[in-house]
């Protein structure tokens, strides 16, 4: 097995164990990108938000406008950016709109049709979303319909449509492509005053949810040249916005960008434990009967169908009433789950990411990601389902070090090298976002816009701001952590980092997995004989695999190391009728300029703020006993200067590992039950299940740790 195979094998094995996300995801992403339409390349440029005031040159709405608004929609006034867009539509101008969820983008294409008594054709990605919109308009006595396979009374709908009954007609992008003759007939008989493209980011190959069917919407301008086009989305970078305008062939569009900030959303990220219940139940309320319920409507996003089903099973066993939604369910089952959640029959829905786009529920109080999102855009889009009524809501991500394995795998199967690089860069940004210790709101907003209030920390903003405001966290209370971090809360990784730099300098075009094999002195079959002769072979045996994996990622995030995609031959299909991708790729690690400088200058220090994952590793690495008893290698300083330690203080010892291994047996079954209230809720039957599961996990850990102990004992003997 060559280097390339080694780097992709882990992800491939994971792929075979589970189906990834939904068919909706693959429909666009695994299709070959039409490079002939690629007029914009990705960049780091961000959008400029507008002040939420009526721009100069746009007259205020008339009394007639406000009367229609009040009588049909129940509002007494427009928001400034809403009226700016509506005014442009009434002037038959094209519009490209990036508007935060909850601002009221639907009104921008619904009002003009009602006011002018014309027909607006709205392109929407999901039938469930169209059904919700139609029901909402009918409740306002505004006639509307949707066209597509889900329509049960087609003949009646078509008759009414051609008689000019409907004000808003919803269609899918597939309908535009396959049945444009029907719309051309509608144009002749009744007229179309507007085409609105909802979720317009789906047509950009640089967007997080690219769909090939959306890419074909450029035909609208050719077939309906006199009809204005309004493209709207809540999630777009400058690159995506330019791509939208190019694909739709918008003519001198009026561009509107509202604030991306959703101040009522509290952002937090937590490391996963080994138990779904240990993670999620503390976020819920324990009822008198022992069952658990959320503090309001809750969406739990999962990356795969399998994980979705597992989370639902665990929650139901704990008495949580919930439904699931994924592409493996039939249409009737998905519709039933969607209906129950939308109409408050159930407060928790566990779903793959395709579900979120179909949600039109304003009172979602919590969005949980059980697994890291693949990009800042997808994260922002999905948390946008929370708090659309403006009330406080919480957005929580539970993540682990292995969450990005399948993200990386599927990125590697994409045909366009430029697109692969872009998606991979987005994955790195998301990983950095989850592991940072500074304000999360500033980080996510900075991805989209330059107008960001960088005042930090703030109250009711994110978990990191809360920790900084309190000035004291569970980690900072630990004497060992206070001792090993400097005044800037950074840790000295110089020794370990330079081992990585020396290994990479040898010219290996390999990824983190191979680097870790070399550093830890692995004897597995994947290790090449010449690797064993390298000076750094086995130099990192004193740290475990998770430590090295996280340190490499931290060095990448802080630009000491670089990552680049390396193609290594043709890949295989997945039985979805889409054929083979051109190449398989893996992430090769290289040296950045800072690393080259560090290798030349022995005085260069590599000090980094530990990520949450690394913080857990440091807890295992640091010898607390030496710290607590004042080891001889400790240098006591004044209170304003932190303690420093000899690197040997951070070695594993076999005795310590055996002690930790034997103690697991006693603590495994009770670990979950230490969460307040869970023991009572689960009962004796559930406890047996938890114990069995924990015992199974323990056996896996012990098998791996026994192998590590043997290597560590040899290391200590040599030492």
Cα(90)–Cα(118) distance, rounded to whole angstroms?
A: 11
Answer yes or no: are the C-beta atoms of 256 and 81 closer than 8 Å: yes
Higher pLDDT, 148 or 172: 172
Question: Can you give the pLDDT at residue 344?
Answer: 92
- Judging by DSSP bridges, how do beta strands 194-197 and 120-123 pair with one another? parallel
User: pLDDT tens, 496-521?
Assistant: 999 999 999 887 778 888 899 999 99
> What's the token pair of residue 211?
């769909």
Residue 303 above 80 pLDDT? yes
3-state SS assignment for residue 96: strand
Question: Can you give the pLDDT at residue 350?
Answer: 95
> What's the token pair of residue 298?
């809750």
User: pLDDT tens, 688-718?
Assistant: 433 444 444 444 444 444 444 444 444 444 4
Average pLDDT for the chain = 78
Answer yes or no: are the C-beta atoms of 262 and 384 closer than 8 Å: yes
> What's the token pair of residue 412?
């590697």
Cα(107)–Cα(127) distance, rounded to whole angstroms?
A: 19
* Residue labelled with tokens 């791509």: 243
> What's the token pair of residue 434?
């989850």
Contacts of 364 (CB under 8 A, 6+ apart): 296, 297, 298, 299, 385, 386, 387, 388, 393
Confidence at 482, pLDDT banded by 50, 70, 90: low
| Helix ranges (DSSP H) in 179-299 | 180-189, 212-215, 219-223, 238-247, 276-280
Contacts of 603 (CB under 8 A, 6+ apart): none
Topology of the domain comprising 3-20+470-651: Arc Repressor Mutant, subunit A (1.10.10)
Answer yes or no: are the C-beta atoms of 133 and 232 closer than 8 Å: no
Region 92-99 average pLDDT: 94
Is domain 265-403 given the CATH code 3.20.20.70 in the classification? no
Residue 337 above 70 pLDDT? yes
Closest CA to 558 of 597, 608, 601: 608
Helices 593-600 and 494-504, axial angle in degrees (round to 10) = 110
Question: Can you give the pLDDT at residue 408?
Answer: 79
Answer yes or no: are the C-beta atoms of 261 and 253 closer than 8 Å: no
- 42 exposed, middle or buried (CB, 10 Å; 0-12, 13-18, 19+)? buried
Contacts of 198 (CB under 8 A, 6+ apart): 105, 109, 122, 123, 124, 125, 129, 232, 233
Which of 237-241, 331-335, 544-548, 621-625 comes out lowest in average pLDDT? 621-625
User: pLDDT tens, 518-575?
Assistant: 999 998 888 888 888 899 999 999 889 989 998 998 898 888 998 876 666 554 443 3
Architecture of domain 31-257: 3-Layer(aba) Sandwich (3.40)
Measured at the alpha carbon of residue 353, what is the angle toward residues 351 and 357, in degrees to the nearest 5?
A: 105
Count the Cβ atoms, other than its own, within 10 Å of residue 706. Answer: 12
Answer yes or no: are the C-beta atoms of 568 and 4 closer than 8 Å: yes
Cα(659)–Cα(20) distance, rounded to whole angstroms?
A: 39
Which of 466-470, 600-604, 645-649 comes out lowest in average pLDDT? 645-649
3-state SS assignment for residue 361: coil
Which of 6-20, 142-156, 305-319, 506-520 comes out lowest in average pLDDT? 6-20
| Separation of first and last alpha carbons in the chain | 33
- Give me the numbers of helices (H) and strands (E) for the chain, helices first please: 29, 19
Distance set, CA 157 to CA 25, 152, 179, 491 (Å)? 30, 9, 15, 66
- 148 exposed, middle or buried (CB, 10 Å; 0-12, 13-18, 19+)? middle
What phi and psi values does residue 130 have, to the nearest 5 degrees?
Answer: -65, -40
> What's the token pair of residue 366?
């919590």
Distance of CA 69 to the CA centre of its chain: 37
Contacts of 51 (CB under 8 A, 6+ apart): none
Answer yes or no: are the C-beta atoms of 101 and 384 closer than 8 Å: yes
User: pLDDT tens, 264-279?
Assistant: 999 999 999 889 999 9
Region 67-94 average pLDDT: 95
User: pLDDT tens, 402-458?
Assistant: 787 778 777 777 777 777 788 888 888 998 899 888 899 999 999 888 778 888 889
Confidence at 171, pLDDT banded by 50, 70, 90: very high
Cα(417)–Cα(424) distance, rounded to whole angstroms?
A: 10
| Helix ranges (DSSP H) in 577-677 | 593-600, 612-621, 624-628, 654-671
């Amino acid at each position: 097995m060559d280097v390339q195979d080694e780097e992709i094998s882990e992800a491939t094995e994971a792929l075979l164990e589970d189906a990834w996300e939904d068919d909706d995801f693959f429909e666009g992403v695994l299709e070959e990108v039409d490079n002939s339409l690629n007029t914009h390349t990705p960049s780091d440029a961000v959008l400029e938000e507008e002040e939420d005031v009526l721009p100069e040159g746009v007259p205020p709405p008339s009394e007639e406008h406000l009367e229609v608004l009040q009588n049909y929609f129940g509002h007494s006034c427009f928001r400034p950016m809403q009226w700016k867009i509506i005014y442009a539509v009434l002037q038959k101008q094209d519009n490209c709109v990036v508007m935060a969820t909850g601002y009221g983008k639907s009104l921008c294409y619904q009002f003009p049709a009602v006011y002018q008594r014309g027909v607006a054709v709205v392109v929407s990605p999901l039938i469930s979303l169209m059904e919700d919109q139609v029901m909402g308009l009918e409740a306002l006595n505004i006639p509307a319909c949707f066209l597509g396979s889900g329509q049960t009374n087609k003949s009646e709908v078509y008759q009414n449509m051609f008689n000019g009954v409907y004000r808003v007609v919803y269609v899918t992008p597939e309908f535009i492509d396959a049945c444009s003759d029907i719309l051309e007939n509608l144009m002749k008989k009744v007229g179309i005053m507007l085409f609105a493209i909802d979720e317009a980011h789906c047509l950009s190959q640089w967007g997080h949810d690219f769909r090939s069917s959306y890419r074909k919407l450029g035909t609208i301008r050719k077939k309906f040249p006199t009809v204005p086009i309004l493209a709207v989305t809540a999630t777009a970078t400058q690159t995506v916005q330019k791509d939208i305008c190019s694909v739709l062939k918008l003519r001198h569009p009026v561009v509107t960008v509202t604030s991306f900030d959703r101040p009522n959303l509290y952002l937090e990220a937590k490391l996963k434990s080994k138990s779904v219940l240990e993670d999620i139940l503390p976020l819920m309320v324990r009822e008198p009967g022992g069952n658990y319920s959320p503090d309001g409507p809750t969406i739990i996003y999962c990356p795969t169908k399998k994980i979705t089903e597992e989370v639902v099973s665990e929650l139901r066993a704990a008495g949580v009433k919930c439904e699931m939604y994924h592409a493996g369910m039939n249409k009737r089952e998905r519709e039933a789950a969607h209906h129950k959640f939308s109409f408050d029959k159930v407060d928790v829905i566990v779903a793959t990411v395709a579900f979120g786009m179909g949600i039109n529920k304003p009172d979602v109080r919590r969005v949980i990601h059980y697994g890291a999102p693949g990009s800042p855009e997808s994260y922002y889009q999905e948390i946008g389902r929370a708090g659309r009524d403006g009330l406080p809501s919480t957005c929580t991500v539970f993540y682990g070090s292995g969450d990005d394995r399948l993200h990386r795998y599927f990125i590697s199967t994409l045909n366009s090298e430029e697109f692969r690089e872009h998606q991979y860069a987005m994955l790195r940004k998301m990983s950095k976002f989850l592991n940072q210790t500074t304000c999360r709101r500033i980080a996510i907003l900075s991805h989209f816009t330059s107008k960001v209030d960088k005042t930090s920390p703030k109250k009711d903003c994110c978990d990191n701001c809360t920790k900084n405001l309190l000035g004291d966290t569970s980690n900072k209370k630990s004497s060992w952590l206070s001792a090993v971090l400097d005044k800037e809360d950074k840790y000295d990784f110089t020794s370990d980092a330079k081992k990585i730099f020396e290994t990479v300098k040898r010219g290996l075009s390999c990824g983190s997995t191979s680097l870790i094999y070399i550093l830890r002195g692995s004897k597995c079959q994947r290790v090449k004989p010449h690797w064993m002769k390298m000076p750094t072979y086995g130099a990192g045996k004193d740290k475990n695999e998770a430590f090295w994996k996280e340190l490499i990622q931290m060095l990448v995030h802080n630009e000491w190391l670089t990552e680049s995609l390396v193609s290594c031959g043709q890949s295989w299909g997945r039985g979805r009728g889409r054929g083979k991708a051109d190449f398989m790729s893996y992430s090769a690690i290289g040296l950045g300029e800072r690393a080259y400088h560090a290798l030349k200058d022995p005085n260069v220090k590599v000090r980094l703020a530990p990520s949450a994952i690394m913080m857990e590793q440091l807890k295992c690495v640091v010898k607390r006993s030496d710290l607590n008893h004042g080891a001889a290698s400790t240098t006591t300083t004044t209170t304003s200067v932190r303690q420093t330690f000899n690197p040997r203080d951070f070695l594993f010892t076999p005795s310590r590992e055996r002690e930790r291994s034997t103690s697991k047996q006693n603590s495994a079954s009770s670990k979950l039950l230490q969460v307040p209230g869970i023991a009572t809720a689960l009962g004796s039957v559930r406890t047996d299940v938890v114990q069995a599961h924990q015992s199974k996990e323990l056996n896996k850990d012990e098998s791996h740790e026994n192998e590590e102990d043997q290597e560590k004992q040899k290391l200590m003997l040599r030492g």
